[in-house]
Structure 1
Amino acid sequence: MVSIPEYYEGKNVLLTGATGFLGKVLLEKLLRSCPKVNSVYVLVRQKDGQTPQERVEEILSSKLFDRLRDESPNFREKIIAVDSELTQPKLALSEEDKEVIIDSTNIIFHCAATVRFNESLRDAVQLNVIATRQLILLAQQMKNLEVFMHVSTAYAYCNRKHIDEVVYPAPVDPKKLIDSLEWMDDGLVNDITPKLIGDRPNTYIYTKALAEYVIQQEGAKLNVVILRPSIVGASWKEPFPGWIDNFNGPSGVFIAAGKGILRTMRASNNALADLVPVDVVVNMSLAAAWYSGVNRPRNIMVYNCTTGSTNPFHWEEVEYHVISTFKRNPLEQAFRRPNVNLTSNHLLYHYWIAVSHKAPAFLYDIYLRMTGRNPRMMKTITRLHRALVFLEYFTSNSWVWSTDNVSMLMNQLNPEDKKTFNIDVRQLHWAEYIENYCLGTKKYVLNEEMSGLPAARKHLNKLRNIRYGFNTILVILIWRIFIARSQMARNIWYFVVSLCYKFLSYFRASSTMRY
């Protein structure tokens, strides 16, 4: 078979979601590793007074494209920004743009979606289901379309513990749901949402399952590929290790832990943390589209892009490596020293929330008020708790995903493509990846320079001394208030101290005899 770069040579690609995290990385990788691709039509809407062209130019000016700028300075010539609104009828395309796209497009990468877990059902259906259906209808008109690649989520069927690489029946008929939403008011929609999504945790996952069913039903005549990544994290290797540009998912949790704001979260230590690097997702997208484009399989190809089955990693290990990294490479102006306790116990979790989150935040806000500044820590803690509620489902449960198609795809790649489009997560060294991930949040999300590390470490040592001092004062107060005034308390105290003294004496004597 032709190699992946050879397949994309001279092809015209249509990309949605280019302003999102995954879409940006896919655009960069496609242009860098398949330099002879003809053009990329990027569907972008106007936003905040910026034209689609201005929004695309802002993306291309980011650090993500530094390597591409060095290797291919004229790459911008291949990118064509197209004014489009996915939530509008017929994607709000002009007749001229529509005609060009229908005549020219060879491959579609549909990455656009709302990834907000708390999105209203109406908006989630509009963005994830109706927009996908409209893109399918447009694809059916394309004269030279070879592949329709749809990016879904590995959690679309999280109500199952074992998930195969197939499209399962929809929880509800998407057409009936869309028709119903047209006459329902927002209050009624919000009331029925919990009953509709049932055993799925949020509207994002629910509508992603509906979108897959829509593609299966209405894209039957198209050569369709569905990619299901799990929790997409920072880059592993490309274009450089640790690139991340948002607070979504684990990134915000890592930063909160590094700042010392997050001290506890509900999670099962033994639950699989199915993180997958964004560059692995992108490589698999390009490789899967290549395979279907060359081989034209009869059925929809579904790929579970996960790590838990081949290179398992647990939340307990995530917590350890995140805290270790931020202790060695602290974030600037940390609130407290990094330290996070994971617990699955409901009562213990709420105890630690009160003791290690709310109480310190309340005291810090009092300090801010006394010094004439606006209190902000309680608001920060409240926002953090809301985010943690949405993550609990994924940090407390584990799933088993079949990856037979992924293994097959890996075996189809020639040696050069295996290097250039690496999808073998067995090679992923988790400790190194998490360290680069944490450093990526520091450099690319918080824009902190590594030259500031000595000052950050000094600040962390200062926080440690403050903690030791506070604990010492607390012990003295407990002694003065409780122990010193009670004969029974003093007896217990002296008994404990004598036991400790005897243990240390025995340990010292044993050590002396050994030598």
Structure 2
Amino acid sequence: MSKETSLLTSTCRGGKQGLFKGTSIKNVEAEGTMPSVAAYYSGKSVLVTGATGFMGKVLIEKLLRSSPNVKAIYILVRPKAGQLIQNRVENMVKCKLFDRVREEWPNFHEKIKPINAELTQPELGIAPEDAAELLSEVNIVFHCAATVRFDEPLKLALWLNVRATQQLLVLAHQMQHLEAFIHFSTAYANCNRKHIEEVVYSPPMEPKKLFDLVEWMDESLLEEITPKLIGDWPNTYTFTKALGEYLVQQEKGNLNIAIIRPSIVGASWREPFPGWIDNINHFNGFLIAAGKGIIRTVKCNLEAVADIVPVDVAISLSLAAGWYTAFHRPKSMLVYNCTTGGMNPYHWGEMEHDILAAFKRNPLEEAFRIPGGQLTSSYLKHQFRTVVSHNIPAFLYDLYLRLTGRKPRMMKLLSRLHKSMSTFEYFSSCTWEWSSDNTNMLLNQLSPKDKQLFCFDVQPLNWSEYMENYCLGAKKYLLNEDMAGVPAAKQHLRKLRKIQYTVNTILLVIVWHVFIARSTVAQNIGSFVVDLSSKFFNYFRRSNLLRY
């Protein structure tokens, strides 16, 4: 075992001194050595924005588990729903996501240091004494915070996704020991292009000019002209993320910065365990609605690539990018397209089969209907199925709730789902090509051990297995359903199947008597079918008697 490997092993087992703890990058380079990714973060102070969000939590967990000797993880948190920031952090670390870290390092939460902040406020709302600590301590910044709502009003999206980034950069320029700044964008920031390189594209408007415009403009007027301002971007989210990238490039100065562009971020692939997910945003909400039998039709292109990237892949790439950016200090800012379509494509049509098969094996509890339905690219088919398979059943169910003295809810739920589906339709109907030269280069820079510990190579990803775990994760972690309840859930589906057959039979009888039975031709056809069925029945009965 080499000296470096031995020391790294000691670090990962909880040794008091990390491999390069307290050692500056310049000293490491002078000695001609290069730490592993995990060893690099030992003894470092890290700042994470958006830490209570999906990706932020996974980043913190991965950093604590892979580099337990990290000095401190500062997180920007705001009070929410009457909760103090300390309460929010306490609730966060109780999450099942941190179970593996908790087993190995019970006091891991002592590494997490919350800072009261508000991204929409001047100077991020950080108190002077907290800002002073950040300026003197932080070595690496991971900027994950953003609004991910597609239909966010332009002003709020601009403040959260662009202005907050600008103010964080101002803070970063004053940090005395900053080695790397990693900015999280999205692969769809430039979705108005079909082929997207790992470069920052110039937006149609300077961010600062747009700041000035929204500052004085009436909100109703701004809402009216938003479609013209965002141009061929499909929503304010992708538009402001593109502006954010451009602003980072314009104001980076001498900072060592990299941009990470994940596509549709999905459940974990491997770490900390398969299928972990904690939010119902967009795709996850559709997944649950499909498993519950609420959604029966989705408009999309079955041949289009469903560019889903597991959250642990995106986080491993970002941590590796932080390591590479700090040590190599590239002359130009590197952009990493974190996507799967180019290396391991998976199509929406394939996903349809995998999801329905997964929910058949492990159904969700108390399903509204049997999971089923179909994806279609036809507008007319989709609209017809929406009326027949969504609206009518929801209306009848709400009517039943009213008659039994309960509050109707299904039509309201479907309205929200339809709105969300319409905003997501753009991404499920197109296929993009993303270059991945920088991502491949970074992968090749890793040692064999780092490639295992910080895996972002998606070629071995088995999509059917991944979607199976994704559906199980939605059941266990989003809906908190116990796997012991699967037999009862299957029994419930059998009950629903009987109800469905009964209702279909009644409808068929009604249609027959009202529209068909009065016709002489229909009566003759009916008699012929009955007579033919009787002959077949008698034939098979005689065959069985002769056999015995």
Shorter-chain TM band: over 0.9
Matched, 1:199 2:221: no
Cα separation, 2, equivalents of 1:367 and 1:56: 42
Matched, 1:479 2:517: no
Aligned to 1:249: 282
SS in 1 for 2:113: strand
Aligned 1:352-431 pairs, distance under 5 A: 352-431=385-464
How many residues in Structure 1 have an aligned counterpart in Structure 2?
A: 505
Which amino acid is the alignment partner of residue 287 of structure 2? Answer: F
SS in 2 for 1:425: coil
Which amino acid is the alignment partner of residue 234 of structure 2? Answer: P
From 143, 152, 169, the counterpart of 2:202: 169
Mapped contact 1:15–1:40 kept (Cα < 8 A): yes
Cα separation, 1, equivalents of 2:239 and 2:282: 18
Q: Which string of whole-angstrom CA distances, capped at 9 and with x for unpartnered residues, describes residues 211-248 of structure 1?
A: 00000000132111000000001111111111111101
Mapped contact 2:36–2:447 kept (Cα < 8 A): yes
Which amino acid is the alignment partner of residue 249 of structure 1? Answer: H
Cα separation, 1, equivalents of 2:304 and 2:411: 30
SS in 2 for 1:31: helix
Aligned 1:456-471 pairs, distance under 5 A: 456-471=489-504
Q: Which runs of 5+ in 1 are unaligned?
A: 505-515
Aligned to 1:508: none
Aligned to 2:150: 117
Mapped contact 2:185–2:241 kept (Cα < 8 A): yes
Aligned to 2:357: 324
Q: How far did 1:484 drift?
A: 2.0
SS in 2 for 1:427: coil
Q: Which string of whole-angstrom CA distances, capped at 9 and with x for unpartnered residues, describes residues 120-144 of structure 1?
A: 0000000000000000011111111
Are the structure 2 counterparts of residues 475 and 4 from structure 1 closer, same or farther at C-alpha, using a change threshold of 3 Å? Answer: same
Aligned to 1:91: 124
Which amino acid is the alignment partner of residue 483 of structure 1? Answer: I
Which amino acid is the alignment partner of residue 286 of structure 2? Answer: V
Matched, 1:233 2:233: no
Are the structure 2 counterparts of residues 488 and 111 from structure 1 closer, same or farther at C-alpha, using a change threshold of 3 Å? Answer: same
Cα separation, 2, equivalents of 1:430 and 1:437: 10
Cα separation, 1, equivalents of 2:282 and 2:469: 16
Aligned 1:204-283 pairs, distance under 5 A: 204-283=237-316
From 471, 475, 478, the counterpart of 1:445: 478
From 216, 219, 222, the counterpart of 1:186: 219
Q: Which string of whole-angstrom CA distances, capped at 9 and with x for unpartnered residues, describes residues 10-41 of structure 1?
A: 11101100010000000000011011211111
Q: How far did 1:365 drift?
A: 1.1
Deviates more, 1:332-341 or 1:41-50: 41-50
Cα separation, 1, equivalents of 2:532 and 2:264: 50
Which amino acid is the alignment partner of residue 277 of structure 1? Answer: P
Q: How far did 1:53 drift?
A: 1.8
Which amino acid is the alignment partner of residue 471 of structure 2? Answer: C
Aligned to 2:16: none
Q: How far did 1:492 drift?
A: 5.2
Q: How far did 1:489 drift?
A: 2.6
Q: How far did 1:83 drift?
A: 0.8
From 101, 105, 108, the counterpart of 1:68: 101
Mapped contact 1:5–1:36 kept (Cα < 8 A): no
Aligned to 1:56: 89
Mapped contact 1:171–1:210 kept (Cα < 8 A): no
Matched, 1:311 2:324: no
Matched, 1:38 2:71: yes
Mapped contact 1:107–1:146 kept (Cα < 8 A): yes
Mapped contact 1:28–1:68 kept (Cα < 8 A): yes
Cα separation, 1, equivalents of 2:337 and 2:42: 27
Aligned to 2:23: none
Which amino acid is the alignment partner of residue 378 of structure 1? Answer: M
Cα separation, 2, equivalents of 1:295 and 1:169: 26
Deviates more, 1:344-353 or 1:119-128: 344-353
Matched, 1:26 2:63: no
Cα separation, 2, equivalents of 1:157 and 1:494: 64
SS in 1 for 2:76: strand
Cα separation, 2, equivalents of 1:478 and 1:278: 50
Aligned to 2:11: none
Are the structure 2 counterparts of residues 79 and 477 from structure 1 closer, same or farther at C-alpha, using a change threshold of 3 Å? Answer: same
Cα separation, 1, equivalents of 2:443 and 2:526: 65
Cα separation, 1, equivalents of 2:173 and 2:144: 18
Aligned to 1:349: 382
Cα separation, 1, equivalents of 2:190 and 2:527: 59
SS in 2 for 1:309: coil
Q: How far did 1:347 drift?
A: 1.3
Q: Which string of whole-angstrom CA distances, capped at 9 and with x for unpartnered residues, describes residues 412-439 of structure 1?
A: 1101111111101011111111011111
Mapped contact 2:298–2:376 kept (Cα < 8 A): yes
Aligned to 1:513: none
From 487, 503, 528, the counterpart of 1:454: 487
Q: Which string of whole-angstrom CA distances, capped at 9 and with x for unpartnered residues, describes residues 168-187 of structure 1?
A: 11221100000111100101
From 80, 84, 91, the counterpart of 1:47: 80
Aligned to 1:147: 180
SS in 1 for 2:363: coil
Cα separation, 1, equivalents of 2:241 and 2:406: 44
SS in 1 for 2:172: helix
Are the structure 2 counterparts of residues 218 and 369 from structure 1 closer, same or farther at C-alpha, using a change threshold of 3 Å? Answer: same
Are the structure 2 counterparts of residues 203 and 500 from structure 1 closer, same or farther at C-alpha, using a change threshold of 3 Å? Answer: farther
Cα separation, 1, equivalents of 2:465 and 2:474: 14
Q: Which runs of 5+ in 2 are unaligned?
A: 1-33, 538-548
Deviates more, 1:364-373 or 1:429-438: 364-373
Which amino acid is the alignment partner of residue 210 of structure 2? Answer: L
Are the structure 2 counterparts of residues 419 and 492 from structure 1 closer, same or farther at C-alpha, using a change threshold of 3 Å? Answer: same
SS in 1 for 2:245: helix
Aligned to 2:42: 9
Which amino acid is the alignment partner of residue 474 of structure 1? Answer: L
Cα separation, 2, equivalents of 1:493 and 1:343: 34
Q: How far did 1:499 drift?
A: 10
Matched, 1:297 2:297: no
Are the structure 2 counterparts of residues 386 and 490 from structure 1 closer, same or farther at C-alpha, using a change threshold of 3 Å? Answer: same
Cα separation, 1, equivalents of 2:536 and 2:336: 59
Cα separation, 2, equivalents of 1:346 and 1:242: 33
TM-score, scaled to structure 1: 0.95
Cα separation, 2, equivalents of 1:301 and 1:458: 54
Identity, % of aligned positions? 60
Are the structure 2 counterparts of residues 154 and 495 from structure 1 closer, same or farther at C-alpha, using a change threshold of 3 Å? Answer: farther
Q: How far did 1:351 drift?
A: 0.6
Q: How far did 1:479 drift?
A: 2.2
SS in 1 for 2:142: strand
Structure 1 runs of 4+ with >6 Å offset: 494-504
Mapped contact 1:482–1:489 kept (Cα < 8 A): no
Which amino acid is the alignment partner of residue 431 of structure 2? Answer: S
Cα separation, 1, equivalents of 2:210 and 2:517: 70
SS in 2 for 1:155: helix
Which amino acid is the alignment partner of residue 194 of structure 1? Answer: P
SS in 1 for 2:190: coil
Q: How far did 1:104 drift?
A: 1.1
Cα separation, 2, equivalents of 1:74 and 1:255: 35
